[in-house]
Amino acid sequence: MLETPQDIPILAPMVIREIYYRLLNGSYGRRIAQIAIKGTNMQRIEHVIQTLKTKFSEAIRVEDLAEMAHMSPSSFHFHFREETSMSPLQYQKRLLEARRLLLVEDTDAASAAYRVGYESASQFSREYSRMFGAPLSVMLPIFEGTKD
Across the range 6-31, mean pLDDT stands at 89
| Of 34-48, 95-109, 110-124, minimum mean pLDDT range | 34-48
User: What mean pLDDT value characterizes the chain?
Assistant: 80
Q: Give residue 66's pLDDT.
A: 92
Q: Give residue 37's pLDDT.
A: 64
The model's pLDDT over 122-145, given as tens digits with 9 standing for 90+, comes to 888 887 777 777 777 765 554 444
Gap between the Cα atoms of 17 and 118, Å rounded: 40
CATH code at 41-144: 1.10.10
pTM (two decimals) = 0.49
DSSP states of the chain: -TT-GGGHHHHHHHHHHHHHHHHHHSTTHHHHHHHHSTT-HHHHHHHHHHHHHHTTTS---HHHHHHHTTS-HHHHHHHHHHHHSS-HHHHHHHHHHHHHHHHTS---HHHHHHHTT-S-HHHHHHHHHHHHSS-HHHHHHHHHTT--
Domain ranges of the chain: 5-36, 41-144
